[in-house]
Structure 1
Amino acid sequence: MDKTYEKDLLTSAGLAQDYLAHVLDMPVFPSARARAGLSAFDEALPECGKDSTETLELLHRVGGPATTATTGARYFGFVVGGTLPAAAAANWLATAWDQSPSSEMNSPAAVKVETVANRWLLEILGLPASSGVGMTTGATMANFTGLAAARTALLSRKGWDVEVQGLYGAPEIKVVVSEEVHITVEKALSMLGFGKGRVTRVRTDANGAMLLDHVPSLDDMTIVCTQAGNVNSGAIDPIGAIARKAEHAGAWVHVDGAFGLWGKLLEEHSALFEGIEQAHSFATDAHKWLNTPYDCGVVICHDARMLQQAMATVAPYFREDGAYAPKDMVPEFSRRARGVEVWAALRTMGREGVAEIIARCCANARRFANGLEELGFSILNDVVLNQLVATIGTPEELAAIRAHVEASGECWFGPTVWKGKHGIRISVSSWRTMEADIDRSLAAIAAAKQAVIGE
């Protein structure tokens, strides 16, 4: 038996288990001392190789304490899930396999597992089973890919092959976005040649949802970018109503549902998502509410043919691998087998387990909001999902409270500006977060408030 990898893998497994065993007790944001310790990595390139065990131990000893404890229970900054044990372990195994799931010719196992994961994703999200699905690095590339399919579909209607002819001289495509559009959608539009400044921006209500009455007239050369889960407030645009309006005009509706699309699993929120399945393309992340390791985004397109046409790669050294090989559904040809951990997460938790995590995150967000109000904070949004924005005092006092909490190591959340007001943004996204973690975080905020502005 070849034991070439045994020493390093056993060492890495032991160090990883040690990290995870202590992550709940670590400062959520690394201390100044831990960050300063990163200078240990500033070595000259070795002329002769170093011992692999010593290399791994350096990573653990110096790198580990300087990580942000996103796999813990009290990280509330960006919308970042923790990592489920089964998903983390599946990620390790897939890394050991070192498969590129571009086609069955490259990896029958990785493609099969990803194909099943894609089917399960469509089922759990309640989207048409015939949809095309692709795995990307994250929602940025998922938005890019879905909008590329939209561009292909709309230009094809006019007899224009954008993959061959490019955009010079192409018929004009109009793009409609929310005034609360996420920066990743703007980035995708920029990369696709639509431009950030050529879009029509639609006004939103007090909670950040697009106002239906302000959506302009649509036609068959219009893309409407909607949002399921505003990054500040969690608000969901009236996507079903917009999709019905778009259907009459022949417009394309894209949904940026990086985290919020998963709220569709909760029965009490069904009205918010009514008709969302009528949209044409969707972007979401598995590394948010599904709590898989980074990185894992998902693009979904009703018309799988348009996704394939926009993304297909053809080479003489690749035989045809069925209608929709993974390499033909996303920009990347070579990529890691992300579908393995998605499959592991869904199989281990099932529909009920995923829904329980999402419900608990939403309930804990409301608990957080209620606790902050008791401390004198103002909650600036309706807490519809797992996001809340709060403020107190002056912007300077709020920044000082944030700094005080960060220094305590008890929890971490970031700053934001919401509807013109400075605030803190709290996102509850981890499977590990329980009520006790919310209460512990509130105690740290109470102490910070006392230190900065008193009772």
Structure 2
Amino acid sequence: MTIDPDPLRSQALAFATGAEKGGKYLQNLSSRAVCADKANIANLRFPLPDNGMRPDDVLDLIESAGANGSVASAAGRYFGYVIGGSLPAASGARAMLSAWDQCANADTGPSVVAMESTAIDWVTGLLDLPPQVEGCFTTGATMANLTLLATARDRQLDRLGHARGKGLIGAPALRVVASAEIHATVLKSLRMIGLGSDNIEFVPTDAQGRMRAELLPDLDASCIVLTQAGNVCTGASDPFDQIAGKCEAAGAWLHVDGAFGLWARISDKIGNRLTGLERADSWVVDAHKTLNAPYDSGIALCKHPEEMRASMAIGAGYLPAVDPTPADLAPEFSRAARGAETWAALLSLGQTGLKDMVNRFHSHALDVAKGLRALGFEIPHDVAFNQVFATLPGREDACAEITAHVQNSGEAWFGPATWQGRKGFRISVSNWATTPQDIDRLIGAVRAALANTQR
């Protein structure tokens, strides 16, 4: 690679070319198939050449071989895995911040840290959490759960007389109590912090997928209780008020995994279903799901920030004493300024715009359920937020074929699912760009797929 006499000019030109190609990609998404065309992906796999390519040639190759090989999840007809799109201001911020190339620490990126800390304040205010709550940005809900569960582990062990510095060797046993339908990434986080997932005391759920608080075991100060805001199939949230009362009386730590569902809290229509949420000790929410910030952006929020710092902060002789800094609360020390993109997303929406978007997701989900019922599908739950699980009475096995037909049609994309022993598919409405016309196209694609299975 030859160094340009004006290297930053060269970088600026490549940056502009990449942004132009990205804009072209977005403008074509509404008319292309949602599924990926993998025909040219092999062109991205080859031995690394001896001599480097020009930046323009690299970008041309990415565009020609990779653009159609992407899933059009940024468009309004993608309904899988609760993957939102990216709001215009947040997407633009991503582009601009890529040029800044800031490391999100107080002494290496003061302006982006100011945006991050402000975004945390905005989020805690929007969710009506206690004023002492602080938090950090992570790559996603998995790392946010890991951060907070490690903090919970350390705090509970310390209360039992086992200090943080001792690790888990010789530590007293902790009890993990969880909803029977807790998300798999929470279980992964437990394994990564050394608590394991084989000895969890699972609490049965009701017909909506909510933890049955009356079936909680007797709790004590060794307990970490795992609940969720937003069941992945039904969107339902656990009864936090009832659970919190039992946790507070026993000295147990109450954690809420609300990757997408926590945002329902701000709705004037469905927010009351999350009453008591503020009584928890920690909360997880993603910005790259319901909020539609770019990937990746998880948020870990804690009512006991001093405990979080005790578990996460590091120090070194070459590091200045800067306070506060995001690295004191997060697993990562060096990372991109993902929180600044969340700041941009929130600022572009405002409180009213965010509430309207959340309500729109719920309204779209209600329309999806209505359209599917008209085709003969059963929705065996209330539409609590933006999730719809559908099955076909008497023909549950046909749901996999219907799902594959819709995916292959390119009209829409959603995935198969099983819930409480029933086979079906799950539709997640979480993209700001989804329109009523996109919902009509989705229902039309399911109608065509259903007709195809009946031949």
**TM norm. shorter chain > 0.5:** yes
The CA distance in 2 between the partners of 1:382 and 1:109, in whole Å, is 44
- Output one character per residue of 1:362-393: Cα deviation in whole Å (capped at 9) or x when no partner: 11001000000000111122111000111125
Partner of residue 305, structure 1: 306
- Output one character per residue of 1:228-274: Cα deviation in whole Å (capped at 9) or x when no partner: 00111111001121111111111110000000000001122233111
How many residue pairs get matched?
448
Partner of residue 23, structure 1: 29
Q: Using the TM superposition, give the Cα deviation of residue 4 of structure 1 relative to its aligned residue in structure 2, in angstroms.
A: 2.3
Partner of residue 450, structure 1: 451
Is the Cα contact below 8 Å between 2:85 and 2:431 reproduced in 1? yes
What is the aligned counterpart of 2:68 among 50, 62, 65? 65
SS of equivalent to 1:5: helix
SS of equivalent to 1:366: helix
Matched, 1:197 2:168: no
1:16-415 counterparts in 2 under 5 A? 16-30=22-36, 34-102=37-105, 104-162=106-164, 164-322=165-323, 324-392=324-392, 394-415=395-416
Is the Cα contact below 8 Å between 1:289 and 1:430 reproduced in 2? yes
- Output one character per residue of 1:328-347: Cα deviation in whole Å (capped at 9) or x when no partner: 10100111101110110111
Is the Cα contact below 8 Å between 2:417 and 2:423 reproduced in 1? yes
The CA distance in 2 between the partners of 1:61 and 1:188, in whole Å, is 38
The CA distance in 2 between the partners of 1:202 and 1:390, in whole Å, is 24
Is the Cα contact below 8 Å between 2:235 and 2:261 reproduced in 1? yes
Q: Percent identity?
A: 42
Q: Using the TM superposition, give the Cα deviation of residue 408 of structure 1 relative to its aligned residue in structure 2, in angstroms.
A: 1.2
- Output one character per residue of 1:26-78: Cα deviation in whole Å (capped at 9) or x when no partner: 11112xxx202101112221111112111101111211111111100010010
Q: Using the TM superposition, give the Cα deviation of residue 107 of structure 1 relative to its aligned residue in structure 2, in angstroms.
A: 1.6
The CA distance in 2 between the partners of 1:403 and 1:338, in whole Å, is 34
The CA distance in 2 between the partners of 1:416 and 1:140, in whole Å, is 21
The CA distance in 2 between the partners of 1:242 and 1:400, in whole Å, is 40
Q: Using the TM superposition, give the Cα deviation of residue 396 of structure 1 relative to its aligned residue in structure 2, in angstroms.
A: 4.0
SS of equivalent to 2:270: helix
SS of equivalent to 2:197: coil
What code does the residue aligned with 1:10 have? A
The CA distance in 1 between the partners of 2:195 and 2:157, in whole Å, is 13
SS of equivalent to 1:133: strand
The CA distance in 1 between the partners of 2:163 and 2:56, in whole Å, is 54
Q: Using the TM superposition, give the Cα deviation of residue 126 of structure 1 relative to its aligned residue in structure 2, in angstroms.
A: 1.0
The CA distance in 2 between the partners of 1:315 and 1:240, in whole Å, is 42
Q: Using the TM superposition, give the Cα deviation of residue 200 of structure 1 relative to its aligned residue in structure 2, in angstroms.
A: 0.2
Q: Which runs of 4+ in 1 moved over 4 A?
A: none
Q: Using the TM superposition, give the Cα deviation of residue 96 of structure 1 relative to its aligned residue in structure 2, in angstroms.
A: 1.0
Is the Cα contact below 8 Å between 2:160 and 2:222 reproduced in 1? no
Q: Using the TM superposition, give the Cα deviation of residue 395 of structure 1 relative to its aligned residue in structure 2, in angstroms.
A: 4.3
The CA distance in 2 between the partners of 1:6 and 1:256, in whole Å, is 41
Q: For structure 1, which segment, 88-97 or 289-298, has the greater mean C-alpha deviation from structure 2 after superposition? A: 88-97
Matched, 1:3 2:4: no
SS of equivalent to 2:451: helix
The CA distance in 1 between the partners of 2:160 and 2:402, in whole Å, is 56
The CA distance in 2 between the partners of 1:59 and 1:321, in whole Å, is 40
- RMSD over aligned CA atoms reads 1.2
Is the Cα contact below 8 Å between 1:397 and 1:453 reproduced in 2? no
The CA distance in 1 between the partners of 2:414 and 2:446, in whole Å, is 11
SS of equivalent to 1:267: coil
Is the Cα contact below 8 Å between 1:119 and 1:129 reproduced in 2? no
The CA distance in 2 between the partners of 1:270 and 1:405, in whole Å, is 33
What code does the residue aligned with 2:401 have? A
Q: Using the TM superposition, give the Cα deviation of residue 112 of structure 1 relative to its aligned residue in structure 2, in angstroms.
A: 1.1
The CA distance in 1 between the partners of 2:353 and 2:321, in whole Å, is 37
- Output one character per residue of 1:10-33: Cα deviation in whole Å (capped at 9) or x when no partner: 211110010000111111112xxx
SS of equivalent to 1:394: coil
Is the Cα contact below 8 Å between 1:101 and 1:110 reproduced in 2? yes
- Output one character per residue of 1:92-123: Cα deviation in whole Å (capped at 9) or x when no partner: 11111111113x22221121111111111111
Q: For structure 1, which segment, 263-272 or 45-54, has the greater mean C-alpha deviation from structure 2 after superposition? A: 263-272
Q: Using the TM superposition, give the Cα deviation of residue 394 of structure 1 relative to its aligned residue in structure 2, in angstroms.
A: 3.1
The CA distance in 1 between the partners of 2:395 and 2:43, in whole Å, is 39
What code does the residue aligned with 2:104 have? P
Gaps of 5+ in 2: 1-5
